[in-house]
């Protein structure tokens, strides 16, 4: 297996660390968040390998993109992958509760487990865990901090708002 590749990127939610294997994105980590990732001694900096991801993220943050089409490699348990696949089904600009996400993946009694899996999402922003909120509509935990979650949700809601003349 080849060494993990990485690149760093500035964004409105702080520095992002992108990781991949040369074929697919394996991680998008918010370095100002609760769980910043340390670059491994054997990782290779390969900015060129992440040009498409960087371009799509730049367009997303600028309000020019509502979806992503970069190859992803989500590594986790079967249950975690079910949750992450469910996250990918949440439309841009929408929010749902943890309970709704649990229902959508056919696990209505697993709300807490869904929350834990959501929190372990290795590819923030692109796999939109920020679109999951509390049952009462409040913002709840987010690895990048609630300010980042609010920024992402505000970005998406502004772009969907009807134009005011």
Count Cα neighbours of 162 within 13 Å in the Cβ-side half-sphere: 2
Q: How far is CA 16 from CA 54, 71, 141, 162, in A?
A: 10, 18, 19, 31
- Sequence-distant (≥ 6) Cβ neighbours of residue 133 within 8 angstroms: 95, 96, 97, 139, 140
End-to-end CA distance of the chain: 56
Instruction: Based on the residue annotation, tell me whether 84 is a catalytic residue of this protein.
Output: no
Instruction: Return the HEC string of 52-94.
Output: HHHHHHHHHHCCCCCCCCCCECCCCCHHHHHHHHHHHCCCCCC
Residue 130, both tokens = 């920020």
**Residue in 96, 126, 129, 133 annotated catalytic:** 129
State the DSSP code for 49: G
State the DSSP code for 38: P
Which residues are marked as active site? 129
């Amino acid at each position: 297996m080849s060494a993990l590749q990485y690149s760093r990127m500035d964004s409105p939610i702080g520095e992002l660390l992108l990781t991949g294997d040369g074929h697919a994105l394996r991680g998008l980590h918010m370095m100002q968040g609760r769980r910043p990732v340390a670059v491994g001694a054997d990782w290779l900096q390969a900015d060129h390998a992440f040009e498409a991801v960087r371009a799509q993220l730049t367009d997303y943050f600028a309000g020019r993109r509502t979806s992503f089409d970069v190859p992803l490699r989500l590594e986790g348990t079967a249950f975690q992958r079910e949750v992450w696949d469910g996250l990918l089904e949440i439309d841009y600009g929408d929010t749902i509760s943890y309970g709704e996400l649990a229902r959508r993946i056919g696990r209505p009694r697993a709300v807490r487990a869904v929350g834990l899996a959501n929190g372990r999402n290795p590819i923030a922003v692109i796999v939109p865990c920020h679109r999951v909120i509390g049952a009462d509509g409040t913002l709840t935990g987010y690895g990048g901090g609630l300010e980042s979650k609010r920024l992402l949700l505000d970005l998406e809601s502004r772009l969907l708002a009807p134009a005011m003349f």
